[in-house]
Amino acid sequence: MARPRPSTRRSGLAGAIDIVVYHLGQDDPKKNTALRMARFGKARLVDKPDKCPPQAVLLNPFAKKAISREDLEAMRKNGHLALDCSWAQAEEAFPALLGRTKSRALPFLVAANPINWGKPFRLTTAEAIGAALHIVGETRLARDVLSAVPFGDSFLELNRNPLEDYAKCETSEEVVKAQMAYLDEEPVDGAAPAEAAEAPGETLNADADAEGQ
């Protein structure tokens, strides 16, 4: 199947944050939430780093700083960017976006997608973007984005408490402190606990291991 043509239109609700996905096309298009978001007009896809909006807030699992409300202004001004690739290629793909974006990691959250349900940090691209929007205070836009996937409401309900707690935080440091309460909890339905408890940074915006999107 041919790769979708990248879009140059702004995505999402009128006057809202420009949501952009750097899509590498490394997984099954039928299972890809980034493609589903684009199909429903919730995000626009780009296929080259130089097409990504400069100084956009990039979701990066290797970032040293957590996403927080202090990133909202930059999101509104420069956009919100996610990388959609396979987990195996993540470390090779992210460097192309560094230096021209603001990298931020997601704190502890659990997946609601069918393959990784209940597993910490194993979010699809749609789940990761929706979570970031909720944390910075754009709850209406978060729900709009997640409406593109059948498990969007389940993701918000499954993570209701941590998302509400993170959204109350004003800074990255406060988000990191808030997540500690959840890192110490029992795993969801036998899911493996997060390996890193010192800071966020395990969430990858990838759909290669998820299906049903």
User: pLDDT by residue (tens digit) across 160-191?
Assistant: 999 999 999 999 999 999 999 998 764 554 44
Mean pLDDT calculated for residue range 19-41: 86
Specify if 13 maps to a domain: no
Q: CB count, 10 Å around CB of 160?
A: 11
Q: Which residue has the higher pLDDT, 160 or 207?
A: 160
Asked if 57 and 51 touch (Cβ cutoff 8 Å), the reply is no
Q: How close are the terminal C-alpha atoms of the chain, in Å?
A: 17
Distance CA 208, CA 213 (A): 11
Distance CA 130, CA 174 (A): 20
Specify if 121 maps to a domain: yes
Domain around 49: 19-190
**pLDDT for the residue numbered 205:** 45
Say which range, 83-92, 143-152, 158-167, has the weakest mean pLDDT: 83-92
Angle ∠(138,203,23) on CA atoms, nearest 5: 80
pLDDT at 36 over 70: yes
DSSP code for 104? E
- Sheet of 57-59: strand order equals 44-46, 19-23, 80-84, 57-59, 102-104
- Going by pLDDT thresholds of 50, 70 and 90, the confidence category of residue 212 is very low
And the tokens for 44? 């626009």
Specify if 111 maps to a domain: yes
Specify if 209 maps to a domain: no
User: Strands, E, within 25-69: which ranges?
Assistant: 44-46, 57-59
Specify if 62 maps to a domain: yes
**pLDDT for the residue numbered 16:** 77
**pLDDT for the residue numbered 148:** 96
- Going by pLDDT thresholds of 50, 70 and 90, the confidence category of residue 147 is very high
**Residue % of the chain over a pLDDT of 90:** 60
How far from 55 is each of 3, 64, 166, CA to CA, in Å? 26, 17, 23
Paired residues of 103 in beta bridges: 58
User: pLDDT by residue (tens digit) across 128-138?
Assistant: 999 999 999 99
Specify if 59 maps to a domain: yes
User: Strands, E, within 62-170: which ranges?
Assistant: 80-84, 102-104
Specify if 133 maps to a domain: yes
Distance CA 148, CA 37 (A): 6
Specify if 107 maps to a domain: yes
Q: What is the mean pLDDT of the chain?
A: 81
Domain tally, the chain? 1
**pLDDT for the residue numbered 173:** 97
Measured N-to-C along each axis, helices 172-183 and 160-167 cross at an angle, to the nearest 10 degrees, of: 160
**pLDDT for the residue numbered 30:** 78
User: pLDDT by residue (tens digit) across 44-82?
Assistant: 999 888 899 999 999 998 899 999 999 999 999 999 999
Mean pLDDT calculated for residue range 101-120: 94
